[in-house]
Structure 1
Amino acid sequence: MTTHFISAEIDIQDSPQKLQHEIEAELQKRGEPLRWAITNVDEKQQKVHVEAVVIGEEKS
């Protein structure tokens, strides 16, 4: 297993709970999230930028 630093862009949701669910669902596609943070909010494009550290399978 290896750790990876990733960035993602997620659409702003109606509620904080929906946003958290969307972020976690997107990160699960890339591995098991260890930690994540919203690093920027683009109100004009209605996007949040997320940076995360995930654990994933080592690719050979």
Structure 2
Amino acid sequence: MTTHFITAEIDLQETPTELQQAIEAELQKQGEPLRWAITAVDTEKEKATVEAVVTTVSVNQ
């Protein structure tokens, strides 16, 4: 198992619940999220910057 620090840009959503679901869905693409935080919001572009730590399982060959 390895951990990775990632940054993602997420479109702002209508409600906080929808935003949380969008963030978690995007992070799942990178691995299993351990923790995440919204670190910036660009209201002009309607984007939120999310920083996260995710884990992935390494397959030994």
User: Which TM class, normalised by the smaller chain length?
Assistant: over 0.9
Instruction: Give secondary structure in 1 for the equivalent of 2:44.
Output: coil
Map 1:7-46 onto structure 2 (within 5 A): 7-46=7-46
| Unpaired runs of at least 5, structure 1 | none
**Which stretches of structure 1, 4 residues or longer, exceed 4 Å deviation after superposition?**
none
Aligned length: 60
Structure number with bigger Rg = 2
Q: RMSD value over aligned CA atoms?
A: 1.2
| Unpaired runs of at least 5, structure 2 | none
Deviation of residue 28 (structure 1)? 0.5
Instruction: Give secondary structure in 1 for the equivalent of 2:10.
Output: strand
The sequence identity of aligned pairs, in percent, is 63
Q: TM-score, normalised by structure 1?
A: 0.95
